Amino acid sequence: MALLIGGAGVLVSVVAQSRDSGNEDSPRSEQPSSRPGAQWQLPDEEARVAPAKRLQPFYDQVADWQECGANECARITVPLDYAEPDGKTIKLQLLRVPATDQDAKVGALVVNPGGPGAAGTEYASQASYAFGKPLLAKFDIVGFDPRGTGSSSPIDCLSDDDLDAYLAADPSPDTPEEIAAAVEWDERMGKGCVEKSGDLAAHVSTVEAARDMDVIRAVLDERKLNYFGASYGTKLGATYADIFPETSGRLVLDGAVDVSLDARESSLGQARGFQRAIDAYVDDCVDDGGCYLGADRDAALDTITDFLDDVDAAPMKVGDRELAVGNAFYGIVLPLYNQDYWSLLDSALGAALEGRAGELLQLSDFYSSRIGDPYADNSSEAIWAINCLDDPTSMPIDEIPGQLKAFRKASPTFGDVFAWGLAGCAGIQVEVAEERAPLTAAGADPLLVTGTTRDPATPYEWAEALAEQLEPAVLVSREGDGHTAYNQGNSCVDDVVERYLLDGVVPDDAVDCPAA
């Protein structure tokens, strides 16, 4: 079943090449790096006070920052289960991009690109593309791979060959054989996570990742956490602010998730969001004249739907591989995350309609990080494991047909995919260790929630809702297309976000930023 990754991690995956892995061991106080230019100071005792005495060894550890290309990397230790801090531990991978103006440095800005499943270290390594120069100058940008992802004890659920088949499968099965296959894949995913990853499978929740962020804050000697989270990263940030309001500093939640929604309403919201995005894409194509998809919106959308049906019936050969309907779906939705990538869809889908599917398969590969050997990371497994642990709700497969009418109304093009996704967590075999709902962040410092009016992955209505749910939140709206609002070419949004992070300037009221 299709599970859509949201956030800056989708686009970071295009350039992701590899991920290192490491071993797990117990927390210990590391000596500072002796390499020339390494910066180290005595730990800040106030920043390192743990919320519970048994957690203090984790808060006391000193990161051993080492050269990591042009940046710095370190690994820290956290409990596998925060209820049993004396038990098993896991390692988290961190990457720091030093501020370009160290003399004027504000502090560290911890960042998360979303997903869930995207690697924060990769996001930080691309900081020069993701963040504006004012932030790069005065913040050390610190990315971390959340537990179970990237190089932070990555969860493993399927072999690479099986993952290929899982992603290629029809995300909107329409025959008894395809439905049976979808059920089997969900069961294999859940079973595989436990068989291949053991206890870790039950400890990759958002609440636990938020607790990890407080350890990271302490290790960075920051008395309050300054944070920028995109898409799913907004759920992670909101969870942090709710658990740790006293150490929650300046938080930007960009491309916000409505954390109050159940699985059905969340899926309906994304269906509407991606329909808005594909509508905007084909309208732009038609308005330019001579659109390769058709003379008007309806004709263009019919062309896309017919193409997906054709690929479902007969996958297209691409060398020794093939473009199946699952690959085609992911290849089409990837460029919808950012208007700047619409031209990639023009080229890839146009070629596929003429019988050449290589570019569209490549876009699908970028989406799932199938770049290395053959996968550069485990994001396609991690998104399933984290989402289904956070919310294991799964609709019985025989009830899905009754949902199709509502989902097709929300999205004539993609509605079936999102409807069938409601059964996607049927194979989950573990239970979350700690739940946290509803989220209010009561007592936290003021924070910013941003939303874009035609965001496909996190609809604008979600940003409005999250800003209302979090007591200290101020909403910043961007009129436009694409996923997330900051650093998308809108100087109004960028100015509000940067003044807030750098100087603590909180808008008196909601901010509406017109199209740039």
Q: Which residues are catalytic?
A: 231, 455, 483
CA distance 471 to 134: 28
30 contacts 63 by C-beta, under 8 angstroms = yes
Q: Which two tokens stand for residue 323?
A: 């473009």
CA distance 141 to 226: 10
CA distance 311 to 313: 5
Q: How many CB atoms lie within 10 A of CB 379?
A: 28
What are the beta bridge partners of residue 316?
323
Q: What angle do CA 300, 401, 281 make, to 5 degrees?
A: 20
CA distance 316 to 349: 13
CA distance 364 to 359: 9
Whose tokens are 């998730």? That residue is 257
| CB burial of residue 257 (10 Å; 0-12, 13-18, 19+) | buried
Rg (CA), the chain: 22
| CB burial of residue 434 (10 Å; 0-12, 13-18, 19+) | middle
